[in-house]
Structure formats: structure tokens, C-alpha cells
Amino acid sequence: MKICFITSDSLNTVWQEKLGEIGRNDIAVFGFNGLGLVSYKKELNGETEYFQDVAKLSRQISSVVVCGCDTDTYGVFRHSAVVADKGKILGVTDMSHALDDGEFVAGGNFRVYDTSAGKIGIIVAEDLFFPESARILALCDADVIVCVFKKIEGYMPQIMLRAGAFSNGVSMALCAKNYAAVADIRGNIILSGSADIIKTDVKIEKDYHLISSRRRGLYREFSSGY
């Protein structure tokens, strides 16, 4: 699966100036630089066409486009990612966890998108820090999990990327401001860079770990009585 990460330019900048640099890929991934803030009210009223621009770009480059954005739902702000495939908007995924007190709140649930490039699971921003995020998407048979992130600060995002890929047996890709990385199912970082446009070929492979837990002392089923 060929993936192109756009880590600094907006979607419009790429459309107008760097379309040739993207080339032919299965997935093009923008961080939150892609769209900025999107108002649902303005989108519905036809004042803006941000989501249509994502769809148009996906049709132009004949591939899947995943683009991070902040969404304003009549005064309620969320971190989100919009997914389009060859001219069609497939949906918008919100960050499902809200950390501490802040302007941005939790949104909708997780989703695996069935696309022309395969089954793509989407993680938005700090959802990466919660192990159940990758586990849910892996159980829903994602071929690859793509995380759009704000800005990398410290080592935790990369650690969770590697841990999620290893523990769930599915490759994970991350796109943030001036940074992109891919972890394989062995937990190894096979790509890490800070260029404006980064391309890589991710091998689709899956692995499943058999997990057992040690039980100490006398154990009985609840139905057996005591």
C-alpha cells in the first residue's frame, strides 16, 4: 500500500502548487495543516467547500485522501479527520476521548473505512494514547490504521504507535505537523521523517497474539457455587 504524507502544506497549497509531487499513491494523508478549522454551519450553507475540496482532490489523484481538521458544530469544537475516496466523501471521524479541560470535546465513535485501497482505520489525535483505540480498529479488520495528529511533543506518540502496531498485529501510520512515521506489526519504526512530503510503501500484513493470564489460588466458575 503506497502512502504519501503531507506534513506541512495545506490541501489547497498542494492542489495548486505541488500536485505533481504527490504522484500515484493509494492513500494521501494530511495532518491538521490540511484544512484548519471547518464550520459545519458554513459548509451546510454553502459558504465554504472544504469537504468538497477533499473529495475533488481524491478524484484528481484517484486515491484515498485522509485529512485532519478541527470542526465547529455550532459552537462545539472537535478534532476530526475527513476521509474521501476517488471523489466521494466517506465520512468524518472525531476524536473519541477528551483530555483534561479544554476547548475541544469528545466526538463520535471509531470507524474502519472500506476504501479502494483497503480497510483503513482512523485514529484522531490523542485517541492514540488509549490502547483500546487501535484494538477496536484491529478487531474490525483494518488493513492499516492511520492516525492524524496535531504536533509531536516528546516520545509518547511514537511509543504508542509502536505499541499499538505490535500488540494488535496491524501496521500503523502517523501524520503530524512536520513529522510522519510508520510502525510495522513487530513494533519497529520503518519510516520516520520531517520532510514536507514523504512517500512510503507499507506492506499489509497481520498477526494475532494468543494471550493467556495466570490465575493464582482456587478458581471456580461463578455458576459453580461456593
HSE value, Cβ hemisphere, 13 Å, CA-based, for 164: 33
pLDDT in tens, 38-48: 999 999 999 99
pLDDT of residue 214: 59
pLDDT of residue 211: 58
In this structure, what C-alpha cell is assigned to residue 144? 492499516
Long-range contacts of 100-109 (CB under 8 A, 24+ apart): 103/77, 104/70, 104/77, 104/78, 104/79, 105/76, 105/77, 105/78, 106/78, 107/71, 107/78, 107/79, 107/80
pLDDT of residue 226: 43
pLDDT of residue 103: 75
Query: Amino acid letter at 177?
Result: K
* Cβ within 8 Å of residue 48, ≥6 positions away: 38, 39, 42
Domains of the chain, earliest start first: 2-224 (3.60.110.10)
pLDDT of residue 144: 96
CB contact burial 87-102 (16+ within 10 A = b; e otherwise):
eeebebbbbbbeeeee
pLDDT of residue 140: 92
Q: How far apart are CA 100 and CA 120, in angstroms?
A: 29
Contact 47, 22 (CB under 8 A): no
pLDDT of residue 198: 94
pLDDT of residue 18: 87
DSSP 208: -
Ranges of the chain whose pLDDT falls below 50: 224-226
pLDDT of residue 224: 47
Residue 45: exposed, middle, or buried by beta-carbon count in 10 A (0-12, 13-18, 19+)? exposed
